[in-house]
Amino acid sequence: MFVCIIVPCTSIQEPLNRTLIDDEDEGRIWCIVHYSNSSSTILNKYTSISTVIHFACPFAINLISAFGIILLITKRRSALQENIPLHSHLQIQFREHKYLIISPIGLVLLALPRILLAFLVECMKSARESIYTFLFGYFISFLPPILLFIVFILPSDVYMKEFKRAINSYWRRLHCLCSEGIN
């Protein structure tokens, strides 16, 4: 809930300062953020800092959580199996749970094109074909959430059952709301 409040509050300045520009040469309409001269440098710095925070904080939390999980499991296993050295337990747990560390790094690599495009504050004159390169770079950063569903939810019986239960619950709620609205 905290994230749902903080993220919009830290980016509210962008939608309030968006401007549409009709580019007749290219035959396009551009949506750009244009701050007034008096506050432009401050708001540009603020936007850059909040973009980096929105990018780095989830990565850091994910990575710290992964290391915390691995260390807690190692500590418990070491307490149960005292004859095996702690560093051996740690190596075993890193091998078993390496996906917890690889996942956030992969997510960051896939999100890099989007954050790099966010820092391109200048308008650029480009050929019509090169716009697809930028779009591809932007949309590829949305692959991780889609792949998480495909890789983790679909193959797992437990997760799939919970997913179906949640969808059925939302569907029933939506159906009740729609039927109340008709009556």
Distance CA 34, CA 20 (A): 10
Q: pLDDT tens, 129-167?
A: 566 776 776 677 677 777 777 777 777 888 889 989 999
Whole-number average pLDDT of the chain: 81
- Residue 158 φ/ψ region, left for φ over 0, alpha for ψ in the -120 to 50 degree band, beta for the rest: alpha
Distance CA 78, CA 69 (A): 14
Q: Which residue has the higher pLDDT, 121 or 91?
A: 91
- Mean pLDDT value of segment 19-33: 78
CB atoms under 10 Å from CB of 74, counted, come to 20
Give the model's pLDDT for residue 1. Answer: 65
